Amino acid sequence: MPTARVVAVAHGSPARSAGILPGDEILSVNGEAVRDVIRYQLQADEPAVELELRRGGLEQLVLVEKPAGTPLGLELDSAVFDQVRTCDNHCPFCFIHQLPKGMRRSLYLKDDDYRLSFLYGNFTTLTRFTEADLERVVSEGLGPLYVSIHATDPMLRAKLLRNRRGATSLRWLGALLDAGIEVHGQIVVCPGINDGDALDDTLLGILDRFHALATVGVVPLGVSDHTSEAEMRPHTRREATEVIDTVHAWQTRFRAAVGRRLVFAADEYYLMAGRPFPHLEDYESIPQHENGIGMARTFEAEVLDAVAGRTVASTGTRPGFFAWVDGAPAQGYRAHRTPSGGAITPATSPASGVTIITGEYGGQVLSPLVPELAKVADTRIRLAPVPNRFFGGNIGVTGLLTGEDVAKVLAPIPLEERCLLPDVVLSDDRFLDGWTLDDLPRPVEVVATDGVSLVAALRP
């Protein structure tokens, strides 16, 4: 029987009043042996919640009465209580296959679980999806989901996934869309394999069969120094330009056919091609922000609005890569991945300047905004883009920075200078390589990875 272990009980919560303690194991909720936090949350929203617990080897029943929809106040040790459904594809571009040896074991777990797609926005290929899964998704309305498409040609998709079920598993995507489930798609473009005419063919297949998709993100593959796949290589500038031109051409076709752009290119493509980002409104509702699509324009708009004193909602704390690995949502389905929630650690003394730590791509996005940020801070602003030597290759996104690489950039910075570190590099207060903030050679201030929070951190 799957169990969930309680790691924290909120002060003043119904669970605290009922005597539930950290370390208790939840065996069932309202008589149901729940297998994940999704079912747990649905049951826990009831006004009367009967929990079967195990404490010190003894089992007991606890009844919690509360207003309907009021959280129990429990933080659980994982999002999935039974076994995570692992991925049986062998995609040559898979980043998990490119991880160096010696990292913590949890990072090497390659999932293909629709529940983690719903909970955290992980992309699933649907090659392990079943009729029972479809029934549950539809009956419980588990959307949005995020599906890796890569190609709509059956043989090409099977080749890219290195799984013969890749040729047929998109039938589940059609079934989900027919049932009215919101689904966002992704195409990881591998130069010489599914770009060019193949990308055109894939987008035509989406128009023909899957035009009910909410959005489709076209993203470049990441190639680290640790890849063993000889045919996987970064895009050239010309190839990046061609992908952008293809996406723009298909946006026009989709707008004519279905009334919206539907497909969008990742920000990385514009940086690689040296092309300006589209206008913010061209991204429509920016639902794939966390997939690096429209992130740069969103950040720019947040900074400029905050500098001008206009009220604007921030995008808030972003979870970063492998976010789901190290913990479960505290309440509801999503939660901050750092205990501080991206809060600012105040400077302890007046600063002679401010250094903003970022990735190499982040440095290109932030650079035009430095004059505006300096006005707010009333001091010198310096960017410190961190080369990703840990992964190497073409890895330039901020969310994949490690403590070891950040430390090399921090070491020469004078202690009297403030250093701001985006929270996207942390998961459960750890970098991907296991380093913590205490391992860094000097203090830093952790700031939520959005423009509003950055401006707030810079104001005197």
In a domain, 298, yes or no: no
| DSSP at 260 | S
Statement to judge: residues 273 and 385 lie in one domain? no
Structural domain contains residue 267: yes
Among residues 148, 113, 147, the alpha carbon closest in space to that of 130 is found at: 113
Residue 329 confidence (pLDDT): 46
Do both 394 and 426 map to the same domain? yes
Q: Are 113 and 227 members of one domain?
A: yes
Residues 142 and 225 occupy one common structural domain = yes
- Separation of alpha carbons 375 and 354, rounded Å: 12
- Exposed e or buried b for every residue in 288-300, given b needs 16+ CB within 10 A? bbbbbbbbbbbbb
In a domain, 303, yes or no: no
Residue 395 phi/psi, 5° resolution?
Answer: -80, 110
Q: Report if residue 220 sits inside a domain.
A: yes
Does a structural domain hold residue 206?
yes
**How many domains does the structure of the chain reveal?**
3
How are beta strands 381-386 and 263-265 bridged, if at all?
unpaired
Strand partners, 5: 25
Side-chain-side CA neighbours of residue 12 (13 Å): 0
Question: What is the domain extent for residue 398?
Answer: 354-458
Q: Is 85 within a domain? A: no
**In this structure, are 254 and 391 located in the same domain?**
no
The CATH number of the domain where 27 resides is what?
A: 2.30.42.10
pLDDT mean for each 10 residues of the chain (460 residues): 87 95 95 92 93 95 93 88 92 93 83 91 95 97 96 98 97 98 98 98 98 98 95 97 98 98 98 96 91 94 93 60 47 38 43 91 97 94 97 94 97 95 89 94 94 93
Mark whether 16 and 45 lie in a shared domain.
Answer: yes
252 and 202 co-located in one domain: yes
Whether the CB-CB separation of 351 and 457 falls below 8 Å is answered with no
Look at residues 42, 76, 110 and tell me which one is the last residue of a structural domain: 76
Q: Is residue 393 part of a domain?
A: yes
Residue type, 226: H
Shared domain for 72 and 101, answered yes or no, is no
Say if 322 falls within a structural domain: no
Spell out the residues 6+ positions from residue 144 whose beta carbon is closer than 8 angstroms to its own: 118, 181, 182, 183, 184, 214, 287
Q: How far is CA 262 from the centre of its chain?
A: 20
